[in-house]
Amino acid sequence: MQPLVGAHGDRGEARWLLPAGLVLAGAGIGAVGLTASFPLTLIAAIVCSIGVAAYHPEGARWARFASGSRVTANMSVFSVGGGLGYAVGPLLVAAVLSPLGLHGTMIIALVPVAAAAVVVAALSRFRQQTRDGQEAHRLAASASEWRPFATLVALFCVASGVTTGLLTYVPLFLVHARGTTPGVANVMTAILLAAAAAGTLLGGLAAQRLGRRFVLLVPQLVLVPAIALLPSLGYGAMIPVVIVIGVAMNANVGVALVLAQEYLPRRMGLATGLTIGLCSGAGGLVVAALGLLGDAAGPASVIYAMAVLPIVVVALAALLPRPAAAPPGTLWGWRRDRVF
């Protein structure tokens, strides 16, 4: 849904999608606890997912306009919100549903509804800032660069496969190959998610100081030996390596989102929808393909295969040019005294 919603927003201002998406997501998640059959539960989940899809493209567009001169760093703050939601969401659900049962999803629904009210207030204030309107006008006057955008989408599809694969197969490896309990394996997943959230923020800051190309290439090169090392380590020894992996695998998230908007400056909603929505789905397909390998050769083989994928990301990232719509003074290369 995200590319479709994003394309709709590109045809005209659609900031109403932000609060509407949040309210719809809340309605869907609230209804999940009230349904009594699988088809109705599925419909409620679909309604929630449509609300989430409605929010992201416009949310990324307005976050970009509010970022000022620190585009990459501030867009990383926007991107890390999703990671924090993944980490905090299950804790919130457990805290509410344990005493109240499934009907407690109606309480959980109040969170996005309250967020919608905050977004409406924030947008009302934001509309009064003229600098952001100038940034929107500058981007709208820039030409679209479809070829590098297609390369970026391919890059992010592979990178999403690595992220989703690690979140899926590292706990499976611990349970099946190391004999840990699912609860202990989930602790490792939580560590990976926390490190990934930190990596999103650090990647945005590093892009401001060291250049976008540095963030696109170097963390992926770190991932190759780090992931390949995992099957040979015990649980305790895996923890520091998993922290390094989490930081490295998400360092390019904010940069990729900014690049997508700058390669398609007149279609920022579509660009965001493809980058966040389509690439996440493609990452799931990569994980499904790796599952076939895991069934045939065991979970360790999947981890070794994932260690190769960052090399593909590096090869694609090396092809990306500096966007023509990048803000003046954007640091693209590796030297502070030169922009290239």
What would the pLDDT profile of 146-205 be if each residue is shown by its tens digit?
Answer: 999 999 999 999 999 999 999 889 998 998 888 888 888 888 988 998 899 899 989 988
Percent of the chain with pLDDT over 90: 41
pTM of the model: 0.80
H-type alpha helices, the chain: 2-10, 17-32, 38-65, 71-100, 105-108, 110-126, 130-140, 146-177, 182-210, 212-229, 235-249, 253-263, 268-272, 279-297, 299-306, 309-317
Average pLDDT, the chain: 85
> Poorest-confidence range of 85-94, 106-115, 205-214, 263-272?
85-94
Do residues 108 and 233 lie in contact, with contact meaning Cβ atoms separated by under 8 Å? no
Q: Quote the pLDDT of residue 334.
A: 61
Do residues 60 and 261 lie in contact, with contact meaning Cβ atoms separated by under 8 Å? yes
Say whether pLDDT at 211 is over 50: yes
How confident is residue 69, by pLDDT bands cut at 50, 70 and 90?
low
74 or 210, greater pLDDT: 210
Backbone angles phi, psi at 317, to 5 degrees: -65, -35
Q: Domain limits of the chain?
A: 2-70+100-139, 145-317
Using only C-alpha atoms, the chain has a radius of gyration, in whole angstroms, of 20
Kindly report, residue by residue over 78-111, the tens digit of the pLDDT.
888 877 787 778 778 888 888 888 889 999 999 9
145-317 CATH choice from 3.30.200.210, 1.20.1250.20, 1.10.357.10, 3.30.390.30: 1.20.1250.20
CA-based angle 4:110:14, to the nearest 5? 30
